[in-house]
Amino acid sequence: MDQLVFFNKKFLLFVMGGVCLYIFFTVPFLHNMPITTDEVQFAEPAYNFIKNGHFGTTSLTGIFGFNQKTYWQHPLYLALMYFPIRIFGYSFWAIKIMSVIIGLITLIYACKIGKLLGVPYLYPAMLTFNALFIFLAKIGRMEILTMCLSLAAFYYALQKRYLLTGLISSLALLTHPIGAFTIINTLAVFRYHRRFDFRYAAGLALPFAAAFSLVLFDLREFVNQYVVVQKYLYDARGLLSGPETQLQNFLILIERAGLWLKLQIPVFILFIWGLSRKKDELGITVILITVINFLGLVLFVPNKYINYYTAIVLPYTLLYAAMAVNRNRNIPVAALLVVSLAANGVTSAMATASFHHELTDMFTVNRLLPPGSKILGPPELGVPLQTSEVIGFHVVRMKMDLENKSMEEVLADLKPDYMVVEPGATVYQSWRLFTDNEDEFVVFLQKRAVYRGKVWFNGKDVHVFEMP
């Protein structure tokens, strides 16, 4: 009994220390981190629901029914954004804090899985000190929720709580397309249990059926946003050319994510070292899940974001590495583990500390762009300029392509008062420039716009032009 009390106190102290460390790695940096177009567009539906009573993505106004409805992304994370925005207001900090909260819940499930599999301290510690995980917990995107639901489904599947496993797997799919891997992962656990329970199928069907029933009342708009627009974006980047193209894109991702992946080398070594050791059926199940998720992302998922691999490959890689270390301890392995934890921990603490906002920057933005303006520019401007209508700069090109209109016709439809140009606006990408090249864009600005000034906003210089 005394040993049990000691263990509980020890575990409680460990959990409290882990929570404090996690908060140290995340919360102090939220206000200062730059925010991306995706983060704002994933928060806009909830903000509009609070402010205007509709669930629209207003920075995509002018394309189909985006200004009133949002069907182009899966709904769960978008709906959850209601709570931080309702509580904290519409700010960069509020857009990111939901990810921190979900990340903390993810660590709770890591603790539960760790206790179940004999690594109650090591597994959550390896996550807490992992730079990729900490980065994922500081950005306002839905991959952190996918990761949380993936681990939750894995835990409840191990516990043979099949109905709950099905419900959570369905919610993972309603969060992001890569949530489909959560369903495949639970099937791997069923293989481990040597049985399939139909309560899982019932749980899987309920949330998805409820969500899809809402879409049936607006099927045309759903198809336009989820199929037509998404296909347009993928085609613009050549992402729908099959497994060979996906593999090439994965190799590009490795090059771009070089520093982040170098920090994972000790983890990968521990994982591979574990493969050479004695494995039980549960270890084989974790390996199988890791391999399925990794190969699925490499060969079949068009977009190549390190976030995807962090969400559904990293947690199982770390879990198997922790199990391998726990079963086969020696000094070289312990040293490799310490190096991994230290390198990732230092990087997590330093990653965003150098960025900062100045209050004068926001003042200048508001002075150059008066209230009530209609602005073509980065959607991020919609956060400080809540009385203005901010339409994404890329909407012009999208309307030109999707509606077969000229640039002049689109600008006549949108009628912007101002245009805010950032350095990346002239880069050919999925959000393509609406003129053919940079020189043509300069000529356009000289003829059609009046320069009003430059300001440092969201970590970069932006230039403000008035459209007479």
Residues 34-80: tens digit of each pLDDT: 888 999 999 999 999 999 999 999 999 999 999 999 999 999 999 99
Residues 6+ apart with CB under 8 A from 161: none
Instruction: Quote the pLDDT of residue 10.
Output: 76
Euclidean distance between CA atoms 336 and 327, whole angstroms: 15
Residues 6+ apart with CB under 8 A from 13: none
Pair 356, 457: CB distance under 8 Å:
no
Residues 6+ apart with CB under 8 A from 418: 368, 369, 373, 374, 375, 376, 377, 452, 464, 465, 466, 467
Where do the domains of the chain lie? 19-350, 359-466
Q: Tens digit of pLDDT for each residue in 101-128?
A: 999 999 999 999 999 999 989 999 999 9
Euclidean distance between CA atoms 365 and 456, whole angstroms: 9
Euclidean distance between CA atoms 253 and 248, whole angstroms: 9
Q: Which neighbouring-strand residues pair with 359?
A: none
The number of residues in the chain equals 468
As given in the structure block, the two tokens for residue 181 are 């891997």
177: pLDDT confidence band, cut at 50, 70 and 90?
very high
pTM: 0.92
Instruction: Quote the pLDDT of residue 343.
Output: 79
Instruction: Quote the pLDDT of residue 357.
Output: 52
